[in-house]
A and B are shown apart, each in its own frame.
Chain A
Amino acid sequence: MSGSRERILARVRAALADVPAGERPADVEVPRIDARPAGRGGLDVLVDRLSDYRALVHRVAPEELPGAVAAALRRRGARRVVVPSDLPPRWTGAWADTDSGGTSPAGARVLRDAGTGIAALDAVDGVVTGCAVAIAETGTIVLDCGEAQGRRALTLVPDYHLCVVRADQVVDDVPRAVSLLDPRRPLTWISGPSATSDIELDRVEGVHGPRTLEVLIVG
């Protein structure tokens, strides 16, 4: 509808007749928000904020990670989990390195994603991923579909999301995260599990996204 395109742009220009012809966008001053000093106990704040959202949070040393993943899956009673195709095999315990995945030390069957159909995703008990960035100030984990994160559907359809956050992925606040992320990738910002407050403002966790978010902070 190129007619409407020209019409709308012409209307916008006519509406802005009061804006001086020589004005550039930069002439409209935007106050700068000072970046906060980095590293104000970011990890502790992150744990606090995640817990506030009723996510389950644990801090583990790097060598404890495989054991912590296995323990979490066991607690959850997960029998079948899906993982991104490039998840480091060590995280879930070295499984048989085949396309169909393998069995984790927790006894859960681990499926490596290879374009798994939605119905199959709906049938698994959970998903294990990494993340791109985590924001302490807001308790937010950001996935950018990069390394160890997989497609967006992976972390959406299963009811349980176990997410591994490396300490060096944690930033203090939102502006820092925005500056690190690549907007050309599809991003998912997760702050606690799915929730609704639509019924008398009573918060109910878990409507459509994973109802349980468990986070392992490594380092």
Chain B
Amino acid sequence: MSRTFIGMPAFPRAARTATADAQLRHNLRAATRTIRGKRAAAVGELDDWAALRAAGKAVKERTLRHLDRYLEQLEASVTAAGGHVHWAADAAEANRIVADLVQATGHSEVVKVKSMATQEIGLNDALREAGITAYETDLAELIVQLGDDLPSHILVPAIHRDRAEIREIFLRRMAGWGVPAPEGLTDDPRALAEAARVHLREKFLNARVAVSGANFAVAETGTLVVLESEGNGRMCLTLPETLISVVGIEKTIPTWADLDVFLRTLPRSATGERMNPYTSTWTGVTPGDGPQEFHLVLLDNGRTDVLADEVGRQALRCIRCSACLNICPVYERTGGHAYGSVYPGPIGAILTPQLRGTGGEPEASLPYASSLCGACYEVCPVAIDIPEVLVHLRERVASAGGAGHRVEKAAMAAAGWVLGDGRRLGAAQRAAAAARSLVPRRLPGPAGAWTDTRDLPAVPGESFRRWWRDRRVGGADTEAES
């Protein structure tokens, strides 16, 4: 049985549990800091970063404001290129479509490329109920799947696991899923990656059906785009006979030429690389090369609700780079599971409550899972103003009557906890320093009502500890390990 995010405790309780786990905190802290540094260097290399960010934002904005037209164009292009397009209003419908398509091939196993959309709809569980086994092939997803675990980061889903834990999972579980881990497996990352290679190779070479998501879908040409590192994506997209891609409607971009903006911003924001090792694009089917049957499942599942909110709509610009997770002082403390959704961190805090509505306690508490320091906005390659949407959603929660007030009280306690400790505050402030001018005392527009009666947490111009550190001779950085 794989676990599910549904029924997880609301953020305040989940966060308390997570922060009590010293190992988790240590793993996370080391990992997010490393990626953060790499990202800053890779972004610094481009002198037109600000222009690229503005262009990425505008391309997505153009798409969203005319999404109906682009979706119809995408459908026509994919169909003209020999693919089939299906529309899924919600998770249940998407799962049913995929299960039916797999069953129609006569096969009962599929290989999967890491995809947030299929996690969001719980596709693997639905396939299992239909008698179909889904194999995750991204190394981190494999670790999560074998460990009966949940992903905790958009890009590095097993970021909360260290090498010793991964070795343990491989030794214990690989045999049950296929080729067993080799005897004498060490916890050297090379050895672990090799064990995964051997385990998965058997799957790739025998797979007849693959399921993927996509980073982008080009309306003009019907081209789908997947960025990855390991080559598992290429394996799944190339070797099987049938390919089924489940893609959120917001992944659409207008033209092939628009792609260049994102090919430059996504890898640098995500892993701090100039380019990810592999990018695959395909348009319908190509005779004699790759899958000869291609299905695109266009997924709504709450996205049109997000689209309907003029302030919250910008969350649909997200290209899932995870830069906002890696910079967030709250995420660094709590880890991804505390957010109770496949979308953790700052983007999860605004996307999940919008996709699922704020009626439930876990969703309603998410807009409070933030110190509103603004660092997430600063790093976002498509300039999503996450603090603005957070405050907007807080207003929505607070105005929901009795339930809203109960949740708000619990959630405010969590915010107080995040900001209530010297070290935690220090972390929040360091992250905020670069972005301090971005957070106004009172938010303009509809969200203003929430700030009328509540103070936004103050973000000082410069934290005392940073000031102290910067003025010491040699600037030796001895940040307290919290």
Contacts and interface: CB of A to CB of B under 8 A. Distances in A.
Contact of B273 (A7, A25, A191): A191
A76 interface: no
A184 B283 contact: yes
Contacts of B55: 30-33
B93 interface: yes
Interface string A148-189: 000111001000000000000000001101110001111111
Contacts of A137: 274
Contact of B139 (A1, A52, A190, A196): A196
Contacts of B87: 1-2, 4-5, 7-8
A208 B205 contact: no
B437 interface: no
A75 interface: no
A57 to B, nearest CB: 15
28 contacts: A1-B97, A4-B93, A8-B87, A11-B300, A11-B304, A12-B307, A25-B70, A30-B58, A34-B48, A118-B205, A137-B274, A139-B274, A145-B289, A156-B234, A174-B260, A178-B257, A183-B223, A188-B234, A188-B278, A188-B279, A194-B231, A199-B166, A207-B197, A207-B229, A207-B230, A208-B197, A208-B232, A209-B235
Contacts of A209: 230-231, 234-235, 277-278
B304 A15 contact: yes
A174 B93 contact: no
Q: Which of B72, B139, B271, B278 counts the most chain A CB atoms within 10 A? A: B278
B290 interface: yes
B476 interface: no
A204 B192 CA distance: 10
B232 A207 contact: yes
Contacts of A5: 87
Contact of A178 (B66, B166, B256, B282): B256
A148 to B, nearest CB: 15
Size category of the A interface is 35 or more
Contact of A190 (B54, B221, B258, B278): B278
B162 interface: yes
Contacts of A197: 156, 229, 271
B310 A18 contact: yes
Contacts of B35: 201
Contacts of A191: 273-278
A4 B87 CA distance: 6
Interface of A: 1-2, 4-5, 7-9, 11-16, 18-19, 23-25, 28-34, 49, 52-53, 115, 118-119, 122, 135, 137-140, 145, 151-153, 156, 174-175, 177-179, 183-202, 204, 206-210
B91 interface: no
A186 B286 contact: yes
A140 B267 CA distance: 13
A39 B97 CA distance: 49
Contact of A8 (B34, B260, B300): B300
Contacts of A140: 275
A33 B305 CA distance: 32
Contacts of A145: 286, 289
